[in-house]
């Protein structure tokens, strides 16, 4: 387990501020033992909560041609047929994964491929399960093409709490299966748009692990 780069600066300054706050309280109110102990305990709990937001597990990356792996830790909240109207312009099998604040927030490439399309959309911060969140919230859209020419679309969607999407790719980028392509601070949702003939390997409400849970098997 490591700490993701997105959290290192925040965690450093947060530690400095909390240590300074507790030092000042002990300096000015040395007799207030109960208050000082509560403040110290609260500081430790807050720091650990933020620390777990930025954990980044280390594990062997998959390399399975034809398998689409989960792009994020979370829970499957949508499996349905939907029309993708931004880039693919066709019906697809949509699988959506909700990332709660306690999940790992790293986003990983579901397949090995080349980025054919990437776009960032500023927007609102509706709750992630709102029907309009996928079209009105802050989001990114990435289209990956594998060696056989099959394209899948991956969409990062910010939610009411997650107000910062990060990405590390651009059009033409090459991604290994399971490689990092982005990060959503404090969780939200990631959508996959797969070919209609893809065999779905997960169920609704199933928990997923990024780059470890098989989501679908591609027919081509």
- Cα–Cα dist 22/30, whole Å: 11
Tokens linked to 209: 């692990």
Helix, strand, coil % in the chain, rounded to nearest 5: 20, 35, 40
Q: What's the Rg (C-alpha) of the chain?
A: 20
Q: Please name the residue that has the structure tokens 């997923």.
A: 208
Distance between CA 26 and CA 102 in Å, rounded? 32
> Are 171 and 115 within 8 A, CB to CB?
yes
How far apart are alpha carbons 198 and 166 in whole angstroms?
Answer: 28
Q: State yes or no: is 100 an active-site residue.
A: no
Question: Given 43, 109, 134, 188, which residue is catalytic?
Answer: 188
How far CA 211 is from CA of 72, 126, 141, 152, 187, in Å, comes to 7, 27, 19, 15, 17
Q: Which residues have a catalytic role annotated?
A: 188
């Amino acid at each position: 387990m490591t700490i993701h780069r997105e959290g290192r600066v925040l965690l450093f300054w947060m530690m400095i501020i909390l240590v300074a706050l507790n030092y000042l309280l002990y300096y000015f109110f040395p007799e207030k033992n109960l208050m000082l102990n509560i403040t110290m305990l609260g500081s430790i709990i807050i720091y650990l909560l933020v620390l777990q937001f930025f954990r980044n597990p280390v594990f062997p990356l998959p390399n399975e041609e034809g398998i689409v792996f989960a792009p994020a830790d979370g829970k499957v909240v949508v499996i349905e047929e939907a029309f993708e109207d931004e880039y693919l312009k066709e019906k697809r099998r949509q699988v959506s994964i909700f990332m709660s604040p306690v999940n790992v927030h790293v986003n990983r490439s579901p397949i090995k491929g080349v980025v054919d399309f990437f776009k960032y959309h500023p927007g609102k911060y509706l709750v992630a399960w709102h029907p309009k969140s996928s079209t009105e919230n802050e989001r990114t859209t990435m289209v990956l093409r594998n060696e056989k020419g099959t394209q899948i679309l991956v969409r990062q969607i910010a939610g009411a709490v997650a107000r910062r999407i990060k990405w590390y790719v651009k059009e033409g980028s090459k991604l290994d299966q399971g490689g990092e392509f982005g990060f959503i601070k404090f969780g939200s949702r990631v959508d996959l748009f797969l070919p209609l003939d893809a065999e779905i390997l997960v169920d609704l409400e199933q928990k997923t692990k990024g780059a470890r849970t098989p989501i679908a098997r591609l027919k081509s």
